[in-house]
């Protein structure tokens, strides 16, 4: 098969024009660009919160770079200070700078959001593709298990897994990853069912292409578009779920800053220091909104059928 | 049609059984001894062992499993390991709070979301449409607990017109309603954004259909075409999907109940996890999962009733 495809003339012009079409759709969609720019800014802000890369080379403790202060540094004399020039988002109960904690806190949200989607996406795509391509008993077993997992509302499922694993960042990634995998499996399963009916798959099968090679070379690349769209939308949801779990108290342990935990700490002071909860909440809102904008745009570009 | 309904009900039984089995197994693999959790870390070995025996934890897993199923069939959810009270009583107390919150939120979501969706679809690619889409996307992005906090800050702290916490007394409708407003607004407005997006999408599909074009060509007024011809068809998928969302609303209702310290299944679930109350945890998860299975079944059946092609 590979030999024969190598000798066929490649439709270079068509490919180029398709890429150009995608690029043109991307450029025209201003909201998508806003989403992309916001996501890049949030990622940069979190990565360069401190100078870890220089500190790593010099063998010293990282110092704040974009964040104005160390997120754990306490100024107990000025605790609950209102937002001011020195501390634009004020100080929390322990006198820690809220802006710095928000900048550092982005690391937890992004890490959990991206890693859990990677984990859930990988497991779900694998299960969906195997179920869709194999059919029969394997398909039935996998898809009925997916149905069972989907009977649990996502947050309940996350809570259930965390009850077994305990709290912490890696456990949260596993919990949200497991929670997301059925959604990926279901979408990839239905795409695989459609893709495997294509003539090129039939042609590959007829010349004896093995199952693994078929899944890797012919099925997977054709379902990746939908997986990418789903991944960007689910990253937004994963960040929201992480905030929910942190708010309940099942997130990272203190003093590591996490947005959900910061909001939770601030609820004790809603009447006299609302900024402790309001600013981290805004950070969650903007981040999830940016990923949703990006996801919506990607859906328009890569899979116009799913357009809402 | 009857055959379709019976088949669908029969198909949902294995799913429900698998869900119950999963809940049973998950609760058994949670680290820590339930007897120690009930008696505390300083309980004597003998006391712990006696309680394990009384709770049936020393029995083989299969025996425990069949006892769990037979108790459920008799409608017995067991006793809380922390309070010692029957869980049936606790559920009977909190369930009305969760149900009223979910139902009122769905009502708010449908009453606001459908007109807004129609309005944005009719004004497609206008400033109104862009604003509507941005606001609904923002609504999808805001965590329910944060939105709840913002509403508390505005209506309970700043304006001091509504209570911030509690569920009110169910026997006193005015008090109950007073406590319901903010949590229901939190969930309802979040749901509004989803319904707006769905309605817009369904309306756009219908507005480009041939029969709508024909209705316009006949010279019918825009209002009549939109409300009588387009919306009526678009409502079919919307109403069905709203049922499905009742299930997904559960996640947000958990957080809303936590933020507003409101009695409910969600608050009971979080409390059970925090206090390691395994029986309560198992019961609430069973109720949630059964609720989702039943809602999915009803939605499937509704699809069949609305569109007879599906039942064939």
Contacts of A147 in chain B (CB under 8 A): 15
Contacts of A308 in chain B (CB under 8 A): 197-198, 200-201
Among A278-282, B51-55, B254-258, name the one with the lowest average pLDDT: B51-55
Give which of A153, A162, A245 to mutate to test B binding, by max B Cβ within 10 Å: A153
> For a pLDDT cut of 70, what percent of chain B falls above it?
93
Give which of B146, B245, B296, B299 to mutate to test A binding, by max A Cβ within 10 Å: B146
What is the pLDDT averaged over residues A249-267?
88
pLDDT band per the 50, 70, 90 thresholds, residue B152: very high
pLDDT of residue B240: 66
Give which of A38, A109, A151, A234 to mutate to test B binding, by max B Cβ within 10 Å: A151
pLDDT digits over A50-108, tens only? 999 999 999 888 889 999 999 999 988 888 888 998 899 999 999 999 999 999 999 99
More confident residue, B201 or A112: A112
Contacts of A178 in chain B (CB under 8 A): none
- Residues A213 and B311: their CA atoms lie apart, in Å, by 38
- Asked if pLDDT for residue B88 goes beyond 50, the answer is yes
pLDDT of residue B89: 92
Contact between chains at B30 and A151 (C-beta distance less than 8 A) = no
Q: What sign has the CA pseudo-torsion B222, B224, B225, B227?
A: positive
Contact between chains at B285 and A160 (C-beta distance less than 8 A) = yes
pTM: 0.85
Complete DSSP assignment for chain A: -HHHHHHSPP-HHHHHHHHHHHHHHHHH-HHHHHHHHHHHHHHHHHHTSB-HHHHHHHTS---BSSSSS-TT---GGGTTPPP-SSSTT-B-TTS-BHHHHHHHHHHHHHHHHHHHHHHHHHHHHHHHHHHHHH-HHHHHHHHHHHHHHHTS-HHHHHHHHHHHH-SSHHHHHHHHHHHHHHHHHHHHHHHHHHHTTSHHHHHHHHTT--HHHHIIIIIHHHHHHHHHHHHHHHHHHHHHHHHHHHHHT-SPPTTS--HHHHHHHHGGGTTT-THHHHHHHHHHHHHHHHHHHHHHHHHHHH-GGG--
Nearest Cα residue to B176 out of B188, B184, B163, B167: B167
Contacts of B29 in chain A (CB under 8 A): 164
Contact between chains at A163 and B153 (C-beta distance less than 8 A) = no
What Å distances lie between residue B64 and A68, B75, B82, CA to CA?
57, 16, 20
- Asked if pLDDT for residue B273 goes beyond 90, the answer is no
Q: What ipTM goes with this model?
A: 0.84
- Asked if pLDDT for residue B304 goes beyond 70, the answer is no
Contact between chains at B285 and A156 (C-beta distance less than 8 A) = yes
Q: Are B198 and B241 in contact (CB under 8 A)?
A: yes
pLDDT digits over A14-32, tens only? 556 667 777 787 777 787 8
């Amino acid at each position: 098969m590979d030999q024969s495809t190598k000798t066929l003339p490649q439709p270079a012009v068509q490919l180029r024009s398709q890429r150009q079409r995608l690029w043109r759709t991307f450029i025209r969609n201003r909201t998508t660009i806003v989403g992309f720019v916001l996501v890049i800014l949030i990622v940069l802000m979190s990565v360069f919160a401190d100078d870890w890369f220089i500190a790593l080379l010099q063998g010293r403790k990282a110092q704040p770079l974009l964040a104005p202060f160390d997120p754990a540094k306490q100024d107990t004399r000025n605790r609950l200070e209102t937002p001011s020039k020195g501390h634009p988002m004020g100080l929390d109960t322990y006198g820690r700078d809220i802006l710095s904690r928000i900048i550092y806190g982005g690391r937890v949200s992004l890490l959990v959001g991206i890693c859990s989607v990677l984990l859930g996406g990988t497991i779900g795509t694998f299960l969906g593709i195997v179920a869709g391509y194999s059919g029969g008993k394997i398909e039935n077993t996998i898809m009925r298990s997916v149905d069972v997992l989907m009977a649990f509302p996502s947050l309940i499922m996350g809570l259930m897994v965390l009850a077994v694993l305990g709290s912490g960042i890696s456990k949260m990634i596993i919990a949200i990853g497991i929670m997301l995998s059925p959604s990926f499996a279901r979408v990839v399963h239905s795409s695989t069912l459609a893709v495997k009916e294509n003539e090129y798959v039939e042609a590959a099968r007829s010349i004896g292409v093995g199952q693994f090679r078929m899944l890797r070379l012919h099925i997977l690349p054709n379902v990746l578009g939908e997986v990418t769209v789903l991944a960007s939308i689910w990253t937004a949801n994963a960040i929201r779920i992480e905030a929910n779990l942190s708010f309940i108290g099942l997130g990272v342990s203190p003093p590591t800053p996490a947005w959900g935990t910061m909001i939770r700490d601030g609820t004790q002071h809603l009447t006299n220091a609302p900024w402790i909860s309001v600013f981290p909440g805004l950070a969650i809102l903007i981040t999830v909104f940016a990923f949703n904008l990006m996801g919506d745009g990607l859906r328009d570009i890569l899979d116009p059928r799913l357009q809402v | 049609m009857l055959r379709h309904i019976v088949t669908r009900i029969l198909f949902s039984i294995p799913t429900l059984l698998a869900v119950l089995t999963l809940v049973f197994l998950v609760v058994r693999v949670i680290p820590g001894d339930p007897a120690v959790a009930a008696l505390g870390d300083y309980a004597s070995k003998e006391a712990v062992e006696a309680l394990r025996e009384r709770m049936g934890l020393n029995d083989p897993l299969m025996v425990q499993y069949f006892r769990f199923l037979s108790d459920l069939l008799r409608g017995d959810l067991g006793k809380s390991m922390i309070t010692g009270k029957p869980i049936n009583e606790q559920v009977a107390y909190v369930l009305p709070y969760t149900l009223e919150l979910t139902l009122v939120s769905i009502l708010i979501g449908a009453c606001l979301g459908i007109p807004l969706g129609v309005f944005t679809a009719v004004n497609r690619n206008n400033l109104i449409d862009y604003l509507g889409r941005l606001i609904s996307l923002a609504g999808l992005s805001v965590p329910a607990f944060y939105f709840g906090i913002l509403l508390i800050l505005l209506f309970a702290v700043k304006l001091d017109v509504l209570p911030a916490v509690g569920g009110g007394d169910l026997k006193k409708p005015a008090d109950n309603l007073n406590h319901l407003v903010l949590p229901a607004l939190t969930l309802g407005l979040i749901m509004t954004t989803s319904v707006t997006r769905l309605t817009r999408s369904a309306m756009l599909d219908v507005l480009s259909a041939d029969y709508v074009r024909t209705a316009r060509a006949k010279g019918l007024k825009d209002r009549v075409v939109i409300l009588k011809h387009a919306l009526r068809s678009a409502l079919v998928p919307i109403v069905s999907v709203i049922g499905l969302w009742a299930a997904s609303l559960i996640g947000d209702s958990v957080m809303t109940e936590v933020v507003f310290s409101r009695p409910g299944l969600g608050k009971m679930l979080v409390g059970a996890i925090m206090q390691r109350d395994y029986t309560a945890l198992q019961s609430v998860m069973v109720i949630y999962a059964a609720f989702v299975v039943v809602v999915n079944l009803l939605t499937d059946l509704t699809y069949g009733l609305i569109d007879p092609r599906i039942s064939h």
